[in-house]
């Protein structure tokens, strides 16, 4: 009698073995695919920045003032962003479509300034926008549906016009450095004190950061309080190498902004941006020179001697700056305190793992490393670590005093061009 097997499938042991092999294969393949995807996104971001860098230097060749751009994408301070700002400049010289050159790895996909365009009229910013930039462009015309027919702030019609504006390319999720859009503060000089101090070996005496041109309550974010956008001449005269001067980087969500308008998200085809984090608006540019004050980062919002913002030296990379005394200027601020004044870099965020990419003034791209995992890059502020880390992350951004930016690689001091300022004073005095 012949025995025939009725076996028609896998045994339990064979099934377990097969599943185990499949799980091991998935464990090996999925991380590799994710790494490849992130690498592709990272390289795409770097390429986007290079394209924008080429466009900025194309703009400067035709600009009578030798500027890399005409300012920031900021209707509150720079005017209508279809006419002024580096985004408008890139489109104007046909250097690319900034909206299509967004970093796809960044969950923040639109600028917080877009809310201002929808919800407010340009006339509300006349006190802070320079006079020659008012009543210009689409914002100045009230975002008309038809010529001479402005739309109402906050209305669906206004939202549609701004969404159309975005689709035409007027948007980005790269945030500008203060250097790019403001370059350096306005300077006033007491000439007698200046030359007396030079004779005594003090090369910064008699020179002051002058905020008298700023609008009431203004600071160094305001165009009128500064030199204006960065110029090629300033870069060439700077003691800081152009490869160390940051221009643009992966943007953080603006701390002061509310989520982008749902209407704008829908009209712009961004319905997938559903969470509050993802619909937050990007910061347009850095707040500029600032210092640590008790429990927060304080913008430099008062006139001060130039020498009070020039540090003795800079902390070393990855060191904890618990005491700013060895680094702070030898000269005091108007409040009598000696401060370590640095660039506020919280406009940039680690969107590529623990890294953010920066476009530099020589056209190259560098990366910042987030050492402590808070997403930001502390340039050396002496954060008080007795404050709970959770509170620091929520209220400040920087979660400890560790220095995460190497000043020999990326310049983060209040000024990048103090020697040129001193030379300019000498020239003006001679004239």
Report the mean per-residue pLDDT for the chain.
87
Token reading at 202: 């003090």
CA distance 70 to 89: 7
Cross-strand bridge partners of residue 226? 185
Q: What is the pLDDT of residue 12?
A: 79
pLDDT at 16 over 90: no
pLDDT at 54 over 70: yes
Q: Give the residue extent of every domain in the chain.
A: 34-430
Token reading at 155: 């209305």
For the ranges 9-13, 238-242, 327-331, 385-389, the lowest mean pLDDT is seen at: 9-13
* Other beta carbons less than 10 A from residue 108's beta carbon: 27
**Dihedral in degrees, nearest 10, Cα atoms 6, 10, 14, 19:** -170
Contact 343/368 with Cβ under 8 angstroms? Answer: no
CA distance 231 to 238: 11
Torsion over CA: 296, 297, 301, 306 (sign):
positive
Q: Which residue would you say has higher pLDDT here, 391 or 278?
A: 391
The mean pLDDT value for 68-79 works out to 96
Confidence of residue 36 (pLDDT cuts 50, 70, 90): confident
Contact 343/234 with Cβ under 8 angstroms? Answer: no
Got the DSSP string for 69-88? -S--S-TTTT--TTTSSHHH
Contact 248/177 with Cβ under 8 angstroms? Answer: yes
Q: What is the pLDDT of residue 428?
A: 40
The mean pLDDT value for 252-265 works out to 77
162-195 pLDDT, tens digit each: 999 999 999 999 999 999 999 999 988 765 555 4
CA distance 347 to 20: 46
Q: What is the pLDDT of residue 194?
A: 53
Query: For the chain, how are helix, strand and coil distributed in percent, rounded to 5?
Result: 35, 15, 55
């Amino acid at each position: 009698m012949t025995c025939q097997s009725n076996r028609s499938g896998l045994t339990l042991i064979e099934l377990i073995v097969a599943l185990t092999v499949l799980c091991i294969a998935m464990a090996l393949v999925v991380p590799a695919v994710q790494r490849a995807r992130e690498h592709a996104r990272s390289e795409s971001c770097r390429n986007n920045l290079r394209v924008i860098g080429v466009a900025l230097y194309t703009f400067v060749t035709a600009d009578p003032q030798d500027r890399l751009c005409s300012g920031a994408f900021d209707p509150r301070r720079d005017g209508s962003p279809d006419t002024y700002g580096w985004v408008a400049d890139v489109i104007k010289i046909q250097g690319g479509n900034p909206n299509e050159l967004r970093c796809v790895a960044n969950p923040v996909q639109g600028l917080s300034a877009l809310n201002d365009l929808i919800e407010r009229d340009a006339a509300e910013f006349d006190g802070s926008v320079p006079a020659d930039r008012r009543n210009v462009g689409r914002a100045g015309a009230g975002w008309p549906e038809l010529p001479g027919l402005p739309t109402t702030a906050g209305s669906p019609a206004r939202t549609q016009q701004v969404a159309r504006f975005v689709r035409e390319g007027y948007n980005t999720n790269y945030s500008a450095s203060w250097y790019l859009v403001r370059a350096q503060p306005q300077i006033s000089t007491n000439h007698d004190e200046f030359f007396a101090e030079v004779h005594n070996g003090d090369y910064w005496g008699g020179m002051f950061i002058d905020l008298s041109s700023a609008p009431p309550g203004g600071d160094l974010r305001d165009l009128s309080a500064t030199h204006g956008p960065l110029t090629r001449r300033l870069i060439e005269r700077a003691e800081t190498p152009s490869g160390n001067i940051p221009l643009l980087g992966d943007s953080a969500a603006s701390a002061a902004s509310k989520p982008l308008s749902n209407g704008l998200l829908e009209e712009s085809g961004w319905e997938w941006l559903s969470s509050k984090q993802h619909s937050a608006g990007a910061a347009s540019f850095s707040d500029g020179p600032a210092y640590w004050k008790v429990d927060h980062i304080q913008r430099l919002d008062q006139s001060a001697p130039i020498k009070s913002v020039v540090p003795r030296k800079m902390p070393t990379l990855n060191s904890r700056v618990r005491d700013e005394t060895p680094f702070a200027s030898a000269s005091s601020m108007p409040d009598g305190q000696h401060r370590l004044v640095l660039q506020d870099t919280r406009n940039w965020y680690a969107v590529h793992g623990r890294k953010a990419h920066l476009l530099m003034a020589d056209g190259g791209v560098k990366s910042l490393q987030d050492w402590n995992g808070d997403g930001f890059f502390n340039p050396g502020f002496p954060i008080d670590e007795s404050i709970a880390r959770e509170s620091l992350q929520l209220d400040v951004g920087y979660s400890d005093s560790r220095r995460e930016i190497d000043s020999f690689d990326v310049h983060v001091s209040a000024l990048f061009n103090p020697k040129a300022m001193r030379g300019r004073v000498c020239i003006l005095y001679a004239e």
